[in-house]
Amino acid sequence: MATRVRRSEDQLNQTDKTQPAMLTAGIAVWRVWQSVATTKPDYFAGHSLGEYTALVAANALDFADAVKLVEMRGRYMQQAVPAGEGAMAAILGLEDQVVRELCADAAANGVVEAVNYNSPGQVVIAGSANAVKRAIEIATEKGAKRALLLPVSVPSHCALMKPAAQQLTDALNNIPVQLPTTPVIHNASVTVATDAAQIKQLLAEQLFSPVRWVETIQWFAAQDVSNIVECGPGKVLAGLNKRIDKSLNAMPLFDLATLQKTQQALGEGS
């Protein structure tokens, strides 16, 4: 039994298994919220893989199609870079431009780019393992509060993912996509797509483009959004959102206690 559990855990940590699991968890939470809430969202957005969850919630993608799509996405990403040759790292305490510059300095060792702008002073980098390690060294020299490797199997959102993006483009040609019933803000552009073809294009571009999360939350604030509900396991995004704009009411929703708290905050019935 222990061997079977360990094998299952190892498989779940593979990105082609992790991505469908995360998507399913997010949609499960969203559907619970839908079943009890009268408040309707004005916009959706998702961080990285979460963009697919947002598109399902906004009726642009069928859930079953999305599960198939993200499984393929994970498989293509894993195939694009052999195990051990890619890496990601979190850089804390440096300005975005400084992180971009140190990535450029470290790029002599291979590809390394700033790929997730998560909050002010928190940027994730990704690329070739040697280049990422060199970037960590430079970040430490420049006074980063922390610079640490992340336990991931693929270097997401960097140029090494371009082969995966081409495969994903081909897969998307066989997946029905429509304009969402509620606007979805895309990671790669921080805009709302104007047609289904652009949604597919932005999903492919997302694989090798930065997740512009800070700009996304700033965009929401500029539209006078005051409440943001994070549907899915954990509360990482709620924490990031508060650091980006303290005026926003950022609420994680992942269990009964947070459901009740969110209902109360939004004036929903219990």
For residue 24, give the CATH number of its domain: 3.40.366.10
The tally of domains found in the chain comes to 2
Active site (catalytic) residues: 48, 157
Look up the pTM and report it: 0.93
Q: Are residues 247 and 116 in the same domain?
A: no
Q: Are residues 75 and 209 in the same domain?
A: yes
> d(Cα 100, Cα 116) in Å, to the nearest integer?
11
Question: Does 3 fall in a domain?
Answer: no
Q: Are residues 67 and 171 in the same domain?
A: yes
Q: Are residues 109 and 185 in the same domain?
A: no
pLDDT of 6 reads: 44
pLDDT higher than threshold 80 for residue 79: yes
pLDDT of 17 reads: 79
- The domain in which residue 182 lies consists of 11-80+160-264
Binning pLDDT at 50, 70 and 90, where does residue 14 land? low
Q: Are residues 107 and 127 in the same domain?
A: yes
Q: Are residues 189 and 216 in the same domain?
A: yes
Q: Are residues 93 and 167 in the same domain?
A: no
Q: Mean of the per-residue pLDDT values for the chain?
A: 93
DSSP the chain: -HHHHHHHHHHHTSHHHHHHHHHHHHHHHHHHHHHH-----S-EE-STTHHHHHHHHTTSS-HHHHHHHHHHHHHHHHHHS-TTSEEEEEEESS-HHHHHHHHHHHGGGS-EEEEEEEETTEEEEEEEHHHHHHHHHHHHHTT-SEEEE---SS-TTSGGGHHHHHHHHHHHTTS-----SS-EE-TTTSSB-SSHHHHHHHHHHHTTS-B-HHHHHHHHHHTT--EEEEESSSSHHHHHHHHH-TTSEEEEE-SHHHHHHHHHHTT---
Q: Are residues 168 and 251 in the same domain?
A: yes
Q: What is the pLDDT of residues 31-57, one digit of tens each?
A: 999 999 998 999 999 999 999 999 999
Q: Are residues 179 and 252 in the same domain?
A: yes
- List, in order, residues 6 or more apart from 227 with CB less than 8 Å away: 248, 249, 251, 265, 266
A 10 A CB-CB count for 16 gives 19
Answer with the one of 152, 177, 197 that is the final residue of a domain.
152
